[in-house]
Chains A and B, each alone.
Chain A
Amino acid sequence: MSVAASLPLLVADEVDERGLAEAARTSPDAFAVLYRRYVARVHAFAFRRSGSREVAEEVTSATFERAWRAMPSFEWRGGGFQAWVFAIAARELAGWYRRDSRASSVRAQRALRLLHPGDTVDDDGAGAEVDLAVLRDALSTLPERYQEVISLRHLAGLDAEEAAAAMGCTKAVLAVTLHRATKALRRAIERRRTEQ
C-alpha cells in the first residue's frame, strides 16, 4: 500500500520535484528518488540515439554519476531537474561519439546492422532500420551543440521550452539552432548517400 493511497485527504503522488531536487543537492536519498524516476527515460534516450544497449548503459551511468557529483551546484531553472539531467545526457552522448575509438565501434555496429538488418531491436522493417542507422551516423558527425539540440528535441521528448532551458538559451535561439542543426543533418545524410 502506498503512502499516497493512505492519504485521501492529501494530494496523491504529485511530488514537489523542486523541493526534491533541492534536497538532492546533498542528500543521496533524495537523489535516489530522482534517479529512479529518470533512469529509464535517460536510458531510453541514450538507446534511441545510439541503438546500442551497451552505449545506453554507459551513457546512463555517466549521466547520473555526473549529475550526482554536480548536484551541489544545481539550481532550479525553467525545465527543472528533467531538463538539467537530459542536458547532461545529451552532452555525454555527444562526447561519446567524439571519442574516436568508440565512434569506430559504432560504425562497426552500424555496418553489422546494415548487413543484418533483421537482427535489430526495431522490427519496423529493414529499410527503416537502415534509415535510422544512417541518421544516427550522420548525427554523430555534427558539431556537438547541433547533436544536443536535435537529441533533446527529437529523442528526449523535451518540448521547446524545456530544451531551451537544457541548452541554456532562449526559445528563439533554440529555434534558430535547431533549424541550422537540421539543415546540417540533412546535408550530412545526403553526403552519406552519395558516398554509398
Chain B
Amino acid sequence: MKTSELREWLEDLGETSAPEPSPVFVAKLEADLRSLDQLGEAEVQQPRRRESRSKRARLLIASGPVAALTAAAAAAAVTLLPSDPHPRQVTTADPDITVPVPAPQSTDAPPSSVPTSPPTNVAPPPWLPPTAAPTPASTPTTVTNSRTEPTTPTPAPAPGPRATPTVAPPSEPVPTTVPPATTTTVPAQETLSLHCQGAMVSGSPAVSCAWSQSSSPSFAWYRLYREAPGSNRVLIFSSDARTKTSTGDTTPSAGTTYNYQVVVTDSAGNVIGSSTVSTVACC
C-alpha cells in the first residue's frame, strides 16, 4: 500500500458526512452536565481516564429512549438560565452568558454555592488586565441625571479604525430622544438613554455609567457592553434588577476611548431594548 493511498483514505474518512447529533441528545447531555460536580484541582492533574464509567453509562441510558416530553422539559430548563442559585450580577466577555462573580478563595466551592452579590459594583473579570484597583466606581450622583448634556471630559471622536459612518458621531452629545438607527428594524424596541463618564478615582481610571430605567413588561436583564477600538466588545455588567440603573467600570485603561451601550433582554435572552451609545475618553 502506498502512503499516498493511505493519505487519500484518511482524507476520505475525514470528509465522511457525519449526522448532526440529535437535539434530544444535545439537550439531555447539557442538562446532565449541569448536574455534575466538578473535580477538585488534585483530581484533574491526571488527564487520563480513571473514574468508573457508571455515571456516563447512566447518562447514555437516559439519553437513548428518552421521551420527547422529558427532553422538551430539559431544553426548557436550559433556556431559563440563569437560575436562582446563580449570582445576579455578573461579568463576562461573552454577551450570551452570565457568569458568577468570582468569590475570593472560594474556587473549591461548587458554583451554585457562590453567594449572591449585592447590587453594587462589579469586580473586574479575572481575564482582564488589572489596570485598576478594585475601587468602587465613582460619584453616582454626578451620573444619575444623565439625560441632559454629557459632562464627559474631552469627548474626543473615536479615533479607532472601527469608527463607522453608520453611527452618530461620538463627539457630539447623543440626543436621548432619538432612537439609534438599529431600532428601526424592530419598532417595538425600547430605547434607553445612557450616559457614561470617566474619572480618576484614587489614582485609578474608572468609568461610571447610568441609564434610564426600562419600562418594558418583559424586562429581565440589563447588560452593559464596552468596546474599545480594535478589540472585541465585552460584557462588563448585567443585572436583573429593574431599578439598578447605574454601575461602575473599574477596568478601563487610561488614554483609551470606549463605547458603552446597555441592552435590555427578556428572560429568554432576546434583546427587547437598547440604549444610546455613550462614548468615553478615559479618563
Interface residues of B, Cβ cutoff 8 Å to A? 1, 3, 6-7, 9-14, 16-21, 25-26, 29-30, 32-34, 36-41, 44-45, 47-49, 53, 55-56, 59-60, 63, 78, 81-82, 86, 92-100, 102, 107, 111, 114, 125-128, 162, 164, 166-167, 181-183, 185-186, 189, 223, 225, 227, 231-234, 259, 261, 263, 265, 269-271, 274, 277
A residues in contact with B265, CB < 8 Å: 3
B residues in contact with A171, CB < 8 Å: none
C-alpha gap A98/B65 in the complex (Å)? 27
A residues in contact with B45, CB < 8 Å: 73
Q: B227 — nearest CB in chain A belongs to which residue? A: A10
A40 at the interface (CB under 8 A from B): yes
- From B36, B94, B261, A15 is in contact (CB under 8 Å) with B94
B residues in contact with A116, CB < 8 Å: none
B residues in contact with A7, CB < 8 Å: 182, 225, 233, 261, 263, 274
A-B contacts besides A3-B269, A60-B25, 20 pairs, CB < 8 Å = A1-B185, A8-B181, A9-B166, A9-B259, A11-B227, A30-B92, A30-B97, A60-B21, A61-B29, A61-B32, A64-B33, A65-B36, A66-B49, A69-B38, A69-B39, A135-B10, A150-B10, A154-B10, A155-B13, A193-B1
Given contacts A9-B164, A9-B167, A11-B232, contact A1 B21 (CB under 8 A): no
A4 at the interface (CB under 8 A from B): yes
Interface size on A, residues (CB 8 A): 75
> Is the contact region of chain B dominated by helix, strand, or loop, or is it mixed?
loop
| A26 close to B111 (CB less than 8 A) | yes
- From A5, A19, A61, A68, B38 is in contact (CB under 8 Å) with A68
Interface residues of A, Cβ cutoff 8 Å to B? 1-11, 14-16, 18-20, 22-23, 26-33, 35-36, 39-40, 43-45, 47-48, 51, 53, 56-58, 60-62, 64-66, 68-73, 88, 91-92, 95, 121-122, 124, 128, 131-132, 135-136, 150, 154-155, 157, 182, 185-186, 189-190, 193
